[in-house]
Amino acid sequence: MSPGTDPRACLLRVEGLHVARGGREVLRGIDLEVRRGEVVAVMGLSGGGKTSLLRALVGLEEVRAGRAAFDGFVLAPGAGSPAARRELPGHVGIVFQAHHLFEHLSALDNVMLALVHARGMPRAAARAKAVELLRTLGVEARGHALPRELSGGESQRVAIARALALDPPLLLLDEPTASLDPARRDDLGELLQGLADQGRALLLTTHDVPFVREWTDRLLILAAGQVVEAGPSAAVL
């Protein structure tokens, strides 16, 4: 976070966001804000639009109406050239529920990939940064392991390291506790809080009520593609 930056400034603002797939509206006028230093959860029944919201914010779902603005980047219907879209990973990182690590690459190479190919960083410098990210997330010793050799928690941390490689201020996580036992969920909570304390904004989807109560600041309830309730996590729950 740069000097003088308001640590609670709004980093993500979504206004009237509509997303359709196959002729069916999956998001119907979503409004939300996420501030720097804040962990915000989205809950709701399966099929309510939670994952579609995250996918829309990284350009994987076409925005039909409304807009999403974050860190100087705007997603709106027809907005942005292909070149501008390629800049998106520098603004927002995403960790999918299945992690989607490249199975033929080591954990270290998975993290290095964007640094080398998106940023054009020399391999030695990319390797040094990837090692530091893995060290920060507690999985440096697993750098040479292939994804199939990692536990669920290790895989998740490598996926988070990869999402953070380009240093995006906004981090999205889809069902981050799905493959974790209770002890590991607390470890993840501490990790996410640490990232928020660095001035990042975090938005996650989950069905995990205890995790939301313990580790998130605000909660939105999504139903049929609309926000039906929002507020401080403890109050909404």
99-102 contacts at long range (C-beta below 8 A, 24 or more positions apart): 99/147, 99/155, 99/156, 99/158, 99/159, 100/159, 101/147, 101/155, 101/158, 101/159, 101/162, 102/147
For 5-14, 119-128, 131-140, which range has the lowest pLDDT when averaged over its residues?
5-14
**What gap in Å lies between CA 10 and CA 53, rounded to an integer?**
18
pLDDT tens for residues 160-191? 999 999 899 999 999 998 878 887 888 899 99
pLDDT value, residue 211: 94
pLDDT tens for residues 128-146? 999 999 998 889 999 999 9
Q: How far apart are the first and last CA of the chain?
A: 31
pLDDT tens for residues 29-78? 999 999 999 999 999 998 889 999 999 999 888 889 999 998 778 888 86
Dmax (CA) for the chain in angstroms is: 49
**Residue 109, C-beta contacts closer than 8 angstroms, at least 6 positions apart:** 102
